[in-house]
Amino acid sequence: MLRLPAFRLRQPTSLAEACRILSGEGPAARVVAGGTDLWPNLKRRNQKASTVISLARVPELAGVRAGGEVRLGAMETLADLERAPALVTRYPALARAIGSISSPVLRNLGTLGGNVCLDTRCTYYDQNEEWRRSIHYCMKAEGRICWVAPSSPRCWAVQSADSAPMLVALDARVRLASSAGEREIPVAALYRDDGIDYLAKRPDEIVAEVALPAESDAAHLRTAFFKLRRRGSIDFGVLSVAVALRTEGGRVTDARVVLGSIASFPSPAGEVARALIGAPLTTESIRAAAQRSRAAATPMDNTDFDPRWRGQVTPVYVERTLRAAAGLDAADGA
């Protein structure tokens, strides 16, 4: 049985107090929301912490505030968000993406902030310490080599947060709080294409809230989300596709297509989006645009399924997701 290591638990009752503690404790501290990612990582010794700061008693991090835009508290559980009327009616593809995360039991514990900050994953990293020690560790945890690409100078661990691609496609923003103040940045700017240093937020910052623009809701955009995984629940995805299309006069005026679970960050499929702009949403235009997604996907042997097969099916599922957003054979994208 894997056991948690010893650490000091702090339980602040306000965001300001949580920020002060985090600033004072330094890099040896970890922030925990639902714990569905941090606790397993600590048990496997993937991560270490002398102090863990729980956000469970910080009421200002909860709640869904709907006005022109919709603001989601970072401590809102995934289970509550997938059923939240403001998401189901105005941002249905995001509600679907959140509803695809893990299993019902873990969605009752996991939070939006925790999913946004989900650690990157890799076959060689997500193992217990004895297993990792037997191969001399990888560069993401104490080693010097990436076992996925041994000649590479960087880590290729994959970002598998299912909410992230859809949030990027919706042009959502994230509010970051620290003892030095607050700032709000696009969710797209929160991620780096680096398996180790995968978040652009500072170590002393806490994800407090996610804001969804009014102009990205269902009255303005056609959206869809698809996730591929071995089983229909529990398993992490090996591919996700988030689509947001703006149309006028039957033609696409703006498009965002974001791929998840294929790289260390949510990957914009820019060539697909550019091929759609100015075109009508027809079977032919969608298929031609989807074929360009193959260049954006370079799956590696660090997660489930054969990487060559994952690369081959990427255009297929991009096409299905685009068809669902366009309302063409929507069952295909289900």
> pLDDT for 227-261, tens place per residue?
999 998 889 999 999 999 999 999 999 999 999 99
Q: Are residues 27 and 39 in the same domain?
A: yes
The verdict on residue 122 lying in a domain is no
Domain shared by 239 and 310, yes or no: yes
CA distances from 275 to 30, 99, 271, 298, 312 (A): 43, 30, 6, 20, 19
Residue finishing a domain among 56, 80, 95: 56
Is 313 among the domain residues? Answer: yes
In a domain, 316, yes or no: yes
| Claim to verify: residue 207 and residue 236 sit in the same structural domain | no
pLDDT at 298: 74
Q: Which of 150, 183, 216 is the last residue of a domain?
A: 216
Domain boundary residue, one of 197, 216, 235 = 216
Q: CB–CB of 109/34 below 8 Å?
A: yes
Domain count, the chain: 3
Strand ranges of the sheet holding 222-228, from the earlier edge strand across to the other edge: 222-228, 239-248, 251-260, 267-268
| Angle at 261 (CA atoms; ends 62, 319), nearest 5 degrees | 105
* pLDDT value of residue 294: 83
Contact (CB, 8 A) for 65 and 85:
no
Residue 241 and residue 253 in one domain? yes
Residues 231 and 256 in one domain: yes
Phi and psi dihedrals of 125, rounded to 5?
Answer: -105, -40
Q: How many Å apart are CA 75 and CA 84, to the nearest integer? A: 14
Residue 118, CA distances (Å) to 23, 114, 224, 261, 320 in order: 21, 6, 22, 12, 27
CATH number at residue 51: 3.30.43.10
Mean pLDDT by 10 residues, the chain (334 residues): 93 98 93 96 94 97 96 98 98 98 95 97 91 91 90 93 98 98 98 96 97 98 96 90 96 97 94 96 96 81 84 93 89 41
Residue closest to 260 by CA, chosen among 116, 145, 88: 116
Residue 296 belongs to domain spanning: 222-326
* CB neighbours of residue 34 within 10 Å: 22
pLDDT at residue 334, as a whole number = 38
Considering the domain boundaries, does residue 334 fall inside one?
no
Helix, strand or coil, per DSSP, at residue 319: helix
Give a yes or no: residue 35 inside a domain: yes
Q: Label residues 212-249 b or e (16+ Cβ within 10 Å = b).
A: beeebbeeebbbbbbbbbeeeeeebbbbbbbbbbebee
pLDDT of residue 333: 39
Same domain, yes or no, for 252 and 312? yes
**Can you give the pLDDT at residue 239?**
93
Task: Write down the pTM of the prediction.
Answer: 0.94
CATH of the domain at 104: 3.30.465.10
Note the pLDDT of residue 332. 43
Instruction: Judge if 65 and 200 occupy the same domain.
Output: yes
The CATH number for 232's domain is 3.30.390.50
- Burial class of residue 85 in the structure, from the number of CB atoms within 10 Å of its CB (0-12 exposed, 13-18 middle, 19+ buried): exposed
Q: What is the pLDDT of residues 67-98, one digit of tens each?
A: 999 999 999 999 999 999 999 999 999 999 99
Q: Do residues 201 and 195 make contact, with C-beta atoms less than 8 angstroms apart?
A: no
